[in-house]
Structure 1
Amino acid sequence: MDIAKRYYFLAPLFAFVLSFTLHGCLDSSTGVDNNTNQFVSRAAPGASAKVFLEDSSFASLSVEIDYMPGHQPSQDALDSLKTFLQKRLHKSDITINTPTEVQSGGGGTYSANEIRSFEEKYRNNYTDSRNNTLHAYFLITDGKYQEQNNVLGIAYYNTSMAFFGSTIEEASSGLGAPPREKVEGTVFQHEFGHILGLVGNGTPTQSDHKTAGSAHCTADECLMKSTVETTDFFANLFDGSIPDLDPQCVTDLQANGGK
């Protein structure tokens, strides 16, 4: 697939990575480039929101998960992600595949470009517009995010998310820290929220609840609050329960084809 140009943007306090790819005539309702008749898996986060929310193009969703050594995700976190997706997506079948261990990237810190390179190396499944299954991808690394060390996860393509195992481990360690499965479950759902176009980036807002200059929610208790994807949230505000979407975010998803 030829990629004409990409733009990357990172704002303070959150790591929703906007990776804009020019594809000419991308149909947001199908995710298909009308020039090639192929599904585009390297568009910006939220560009395929309607495809994820509706079942008209793809009735099934499959999530592929790779992890670097020492950072296998907990089953409880994956179960909570599946429950979240079943609650919000019109899909007849949602499969969270058994996580696969891949080679370490060397630890330390990873840039967004390095994350994309890892995906090219390890990802096995891409969406084919001729089939009935939509594919998404998780990569759990053994390091931190180079651009902002307290970030737990990023959404960097319309079907792709990465999580930083060392930072998750840090957020779930120490006296009084939340269990790792709660940290993982929270950030998994938050980043998937960006894939679903929340807030106002692929799924239009039906009311004024978008933070200035970012794709996050202004409601303090919402899953899509900007601090949820950083260690700050778990150090200062986390009560042990994965936050729900604010009703305003739910209304946005429903207006764009979700539940």
Structure 2
Amino acid sequence: MGIIKRHQLIVLCIALVLSLTAYGCLDSPSGVDENTNQFVSTATPGTSAEVFLTDSSFTRLELEIDYMPGHQPSQQALDSLKSFLQTRLQKSEVVITTPTEVQSGGGGTYSADEIRAFEEEYRDTYTDSRDHTLHAYFLITDGKFQEQNNVLAIAYFNTSMAFFGETVEEASSGIGAPPREKIEGTIFQHEFGHILGLVGNGTPTQSDHKTAGSAHCTAEGCLMEPSVETTDFFANLFDGSIPDLDAQCIADLQANGGK
């Protein structure tokens, strides 16, 4: 399980799943609600994995990024994320729009409910089932995650991810700490991995490599290791290189329509 304690991770994941369940359920592999014929952007993470991985419904992916003051993402991290997505998705084009600064939420800690409220206030682009573009969303906050302070990021909807800027800054400060752009690049890709249904949470596993009680990979050194989304990984295990997906995770994505 890595350095993070197993019971803490299980409790966190259960709490997130329970809190998100009421915000949208979606059975259609196209991502479109068959009753309304509209794409659902408030389903649980991993629900739209096949839609992201394939080009059968949407041929283009566009990522909108909002950040609170002092936490603009580094271009190096965004470039590495774009390369990751181009490598794994069957999309003709991947676009990361210029990040936009939004108002501070007040700092301190933010709950999952507050994150969802920020998205509702600040997010501009949503997927239209009649269009060719699939839209995803990043919010970079100026605080920490209320439920667990050492968590760097969460995927909270099927198209939405949040990053906790204060925690990222702490992980990248001090003598010998990894540079911020490397931490950002790692957690950007890790959380997008959850949107793509890893591990065993929207994208079926082709082999036994899912951790007990969470959607993470058991393979040591994999991008989807559970400790990667916490400060523990960067304080103790990070060698300065963004981890790659293990072969088992890649096989899962390919079996679900990705590259």
TM-score range, shorter chain: over 0.9
**Contact 2:45–2:157, Cα closer than 8 Å, also in 1:** yes
Q: Does 1:68 align with 2:64?
A: no
Post-superposition offset of 1:22: 7.0
Partners of 1:187 and 1:229 in 2: CA distance? 6
Which residue of the partner structure matches residue 217 of structure 1? 217
Match of 2:41 in 1: 41
**Distance in 2 between residues matched to 1:227 and 1:33, nearest whole Å:** 34
Distance 1:24 1:239 in 2: 39
CA deviation after TM superposition for structure 1 residue 13, in Å:
3.5
What RMSD over aligned residues (CA atoms) do the two structures have, in Å?
Answer: 1.5
The runs of 5 or more residues in structure 1 that have no matched partner are: 1-9
Residue 195 (1) aligns with residue 195 (2): yes
Give the letter aligned to residue 131 of structure 1: D
Letter in 2 for 1:141: T
Task: From the superposition, tell whether residues 175 and 248 of structure 1 become closer, same or farther in structure 2 (CA, over 3 Å).
Answer: same
Whole-Å Cα distance in 1 between the matches of residues 108 and 69 of structure 2?
Answer: 13
Matches of 2:23 and 2:143, distance apart in 1: 30
- For 1:23 and 1:238, locate their aligned partners in 2 and report how far apart those are by CA, in whole Å: 36
Distance 2:87 2:178 in 1: 24
Q: For 1:111-150, list aligned pairs within 5 A.
A: 111-150=111-150
Deviation at 1:12, TM superposition (A): 1.9
State TM-score, norm by structure 1. Answer: 0.93
Partner AA of 1:110 in structure 2: Y
Runs of 4+ in structure 1 displaced over 6 angstroms? none
Quick check: 1:13–1:227 contact (8 Å CA) kept in 2? no
Report how many residues are paired.
Answer: 249
Residue type of the alignment partner of 1:224 = M
Q: 1:139 to 1:22 in 2, by over 3 A?
A: closer
SS, match of residue 184 in structure 1: helix
Match of 2:31 in 1: 31
* TM-aligned CA deviation for residue 201 of structure 1: 0.3
1:171-210 correspondence to structure 2 within 5 Å: 171-210=171-210
CA contact (8 A) 1:24 1:35 kept: no
One-letter code aligned to 1:234: F
CA distance in 1, matches of 2:88, 2:228: 19
Gaps of 5+ in 2: 1-5
Q: Shift in Å at residue 101 of structure 1?
A: 0.1
Matches of 1:213 and 1:25 in 2, distance apart? Answer: 22
Q: What percentage of aligned pairs have identical amino acids?
A: 76
Q: Quick check: which one's helix share is greater?
A: 2
Task: Please report how far the alpha carbon of residue 20 of structure 1 lies from its aligned counterpart in structure 2 after TM superposition.
Answer: 2.0
Give the equivalent residue in structure 2 for 1:20.
21
* Alignment CA distance shift 1:240-1:23 (3 Å): closer
Amino acid in structure 1 at the alignment position of 2:216: H
Aligned-partner Cα distance in 2 for 1:112–1:218: 26
Deviation at 1:91, TM superposition (A): 0.2
CA contact (8 A) 2:25 2:43 kept: no
TM-score for the superposition, normalised by structure 2: 0.93
Describe the superposition over 1:183-219 as per-residue Cα deviations: whole angstroms up to 9, x where unpaired.
0000000000000000000000000000001000000
